[in-house]
Structures are given as structure tokens and as C-alpha cells.
Structure 1
């Protein structure tokens, strides 16, 4: 896949995620919450350039740091999101101001890591960004599924896997 296609996929996923984060989303019992992060991770792993062949050790360290930042951002995003049960019994989630701060902090750390990579002469391409984004989405969705299951467990049947679904404004 070309670099342009990778960039477009990354931008599309980020736009989709940010738009969805800012509005209320219904949490369902869908067990496929891991599919989008899985596809992104698959795309990242199949592309050459995940690790810079000229600076393998430094590249692997920067990639590892990028993944840690992705995991921390996803965890912060999940824990700062508001999760509630509506009057009809459905579960909902929405990002808060703290969630926005987590995103800004995560982006700042990613920019700093990119700067460190440039100083070290390490080339970071789209696959590294896709892998970090996959880590962010995977941990976020997983933690939201756990939070939703805890709410459901205390008020009825458990939600085994929770997927977040965008609902129209007329339903919110």
C-alpha cells in the first residue's frame, strides 16, 4: 500500500475517532469492538518500514515508546469518558474535557517522540503511527467494555463485550 493511502487511512480513522468522541455514543453488547484496532494493527505489521532498517535498535525503542504512549492515551481516554445508563436501560459513553486534555497530551508526546526520532536519524513511517493508533483504540475499547460490564452487572444482565455505536442526534 502506498504512503498516500496509509496517510489517508490514518487521517480518516483519527477524524472518525475524534468526531465520535465528542458526541454521545451508545454502548452495545457487540463483541467485535476489537475489529478496527485489529485491522489497523494488521495493516501496520504487513507494511515494510515499521522499524527503520538503518537504525533498528533506536527505531525499536522509539516504536516501543510510541506504543506505550498509545496505550496510556487509550487508558486515559477510557477512564475520563463518562459512562452512564439511560432511562431506557441502554448504556452510553461520551468524552469529557479531561478526555480532550488526554488527547492533547498524547499528541504532544507523539510530536516529542517524532522529534527525538528525527534527532536520532530514525525514519518513522505510517506503520508506526497505525500501530500506536491501534494500541490506543484497543485499550480504550477494552476498558470501556469493562466499565460497561460493571454498570450492567449491577443493573441487570452483563455486557460481555461492549462496542460503542454512534447514534443520531434525534435519539440522544
Structure 2
């Protein structure tokens, strides 16, 4: 049951993030952006079956490759976000068509990794998805916040 719950949590978080991402929102760089990823990491690491004990080497390698790809995908995602400043100097962010394409690419890569794991007969846990989503959200937010701090002021 834990795997199904984890997958439902991933889908719910993704729907929330994607929905919010495509709307123009004031960027709050001082808020606790690490809180949701931290909660996802804690939930993911509570699963003692995240690594398939019968195929431990392949499972660890697959998880490591997955996390490395998620680091790259989170960076790409962070660069697809449109940033601008309003008259008051507040930074705003909105997802673009490239953001939607990045999400599609991330899902395709995730499905590809799942296929590789299935071909290797590695049991894959929903907790690995949660861990990957946590890293993805954290990296994306770090990239966007870095870009926002280095945003040139708009002159009117």
C-alpha cells in the first residue's frame, strides 16, 4: 500500500506544482522553499524497501542515475521559468511553453528509467519517486532563486 500512497503523493504534488507554475506569481525568495522537499525526503527515506535487496547493486545504480538526471532536469526546469520585475522591484515568475516541454521530458525520462529497471528485474519503490521529486523541486527552486537575485532591474 505504501507504494500506491507514494505514487498518489507524487501525482498530487506534481499537479499542484505544475498548476502553480503556469500562473504568474510573485516570487518569494525568502520563504522556506526547502520545506516541501524536506518533507518528501523524510517520507521517502522511511521506506526500508527503497532499494531492492535482491538486486541491490542494480537498484543503487538505478537510483544514483535517477538522482543525477533529476539534478540536471531540475536545473533545466529552473532555466525555463520566465522572470521579471514589476515597478516596485518585486520579482515575478511564470512557466513558459519550455517549462511544459521540460515537464514532458522529465516524465519521459522517468518512464525510461522505470523501463530500464523493469528490464533488469529491479523492484522499484514509489519512495524513489518521492526522493527524486524532492531533489527536483529543491534544485529548480535554487536555480530560480539564484536567477532572481541576479536579475537586472527593469527600467521604464
What pairs up with 1:118-157 in 2 under 5 angstroms?
Answer: 118-151=118-151, 154-155=152-153
**Structure 2: segments with no counterpart, 5+ residues:** none
CA apart distance, 1:2: 2.7
What pairs up with 1:72-91 in 2 under 5 angstroms?
Answer: 72-91=72-91
Cα distance in 1 between the residues matched to 2:119 and 2:2: 25
Find the counterpart in structure 1 of residue 54 from structure 2.
Answer: 54
CA apart distance, 1:145: 1.0
CA apart distance, 1:44: 0.8
For residue 40 of structure 2, give the secondary structure of its aligned residue in structure 1: helix
Cα distance in 2 between the residues matched to 1:25 and 1:107: 24
CA RMSD in angstroms comes to: 1.4
Cα distance in 1 between the residues matched to 2:7 and 2:29: 32
Find the counterpart in structure 1 of residue 8 from structure 2.
Answer: 8
1:102 equivalent to 2:102? Answer: yes
CA apart distance, 1:27: 0.6
Cα distance in 1 between the residues matched to 2:89 and 2:53: 53
Question: Residues 69 and 110 of structure 1 are in contact (CA less than 8 Å); yes or no, is this contact kept in structure 2?
Answer: no
**Structure 1: segments with no counterpart, 5+ residues:** 156-172
For residue 146 of structure 2, give the secondary structure of its aligned residue in structure 1: helix
For residue 33 of structure 1, give the secondary structure of its aligned residue in structure 2: coil
Cα distance in 1 between the residues matched to 2:117 and 2:3: 19
Cα distance in 2 between the residues matched to 1:10 and 1:39: 12
CA apart distance, 1:28: 1.4
Question: Residues 44 and 128 of structure 1 are in contact (CA less than 8 Å); yes or no, is this contact kept in structure 2?
Answer: yes
Cα distance in 1 between the residues matched to 2:50 and 2:24: 35
CA apart distance, 1:7: 2.3
CA apart distance, 1:67: 0.8
Cα distance in 1 between the residues matched to 2:25 and 2:37: 18
- Deviating runs (4+, > 3 A) in structure 1? none
Number of aligned residues? 153
